Amino acid sequence: MVAGVSDALAPVITVDGPSGVGKGTLCQALATRLGWPLLDSGALYRLTALAALRQGLSLKDESGLVAVAAQLDAAFVSGPDGTIRILLNGLDTGPELRAETCAAAASQVAIWPAVRAALLQRQRNFRRFPGLIADGRDMGTVVFPDAQLKLFLTASGEERAQRRYNQLREKGMDVNLKNLVEEINVRDTRDATRTVAPLEPAADARVVDTTLLSMVDVFNWAFAFVVELFPGAVNPSQ
């Protein structure tokens, strides 16, 4: 905290885009490099969906989902190796939270305006000095519209499905590439056409297509803007 300055003025870097474009990897790299905390907003929607499914709620029950979101007992715990454990009701959600079924459920939960409203202030409360890296789909358009740096990542649906396929196979999970492509296309359509906070770049966002880029390329592209806009946050010795 900067003496005499409200956390509401803390710097924010938003990274938005659909699943599989490399948002999580980029945000983790930026957070590590700058020493800033990370908000994984998608995890909050996944946690809401997971909690609702565990309670047997229908994903069409908007009022029930709002109650779950408002009472969500979630925590992000950093491990000694820099990894982040996501807890629900005090228990590690592990791979269940990252499963495709949970991702699809989160996309359905996110269409409800009242659910998004219930999670809005919770997300804004993550804003603290020295700064915040915010990963999501509407970070730059809705949650932090005054963010000093807004990044938006894209990639082809086929490339994103292939990346997800490789990730899941590495974890020993049995997945079907064709099904992943179909699921991503359905989720993209749902996210882009919802009436509240549709997935789209902010007017002042820097946009990059990561289809043919390595994560090193993406990081270098993003970090050039960080150096330009936040020179005091970058330690030259690192």
Phi, psi dihedral angles at 86 (to 5 degrees): -110, 120
Q: What is the Cα–Cα distance from 2 to 8, expressed in whole angstroms?
A: 11
Does 18 carry a binding-site annotation?
A: yes
Nearest 5°: phi and psi at 22? Answer: 105, 15
Q: Does the annotation list 23 as a binding residue?
A: yes
What's CA 67's distance to the chain center, in Å?
22
The verdict on whether residue 21 carries a ligand-binding annotation is yes
Query: CB 39: neighbour CB atoms within 10 A?
Result: 27
Query: Does the annotation list 17 as a binding residue?
Result: yes
Overall size of the chain counted in residues: 238
19 is in an annotated binding site: yes
Q: Does 157 count as an annotated binding residue? A: no
Smallest CA-to-CA distance from 135 within 58, 46, 2, 57 is with: 46
CB-based contacts of 208, cutoff 8 Å, min separation 6: 151, 152, 153, 154, 218, 221
If you compute the radius of gyration of the chain from its CA atoms, what whole number of angstroms results? Answer: 17
> Is 94 known to sit in a ligand binding site?
no
Name every residue whose Cβ is closer than 8 Å to that of residue 40 and which is 6 or more positions away in sequence.
24, 27, 76, 84, 86, 135, 136
- Which residue in 189, 216, 219 sits closest to 15, CA to CA? 219
Residue positions in the annotated binding site for ATP? 17-25
Residue positions in the annotated binding site? 17-25
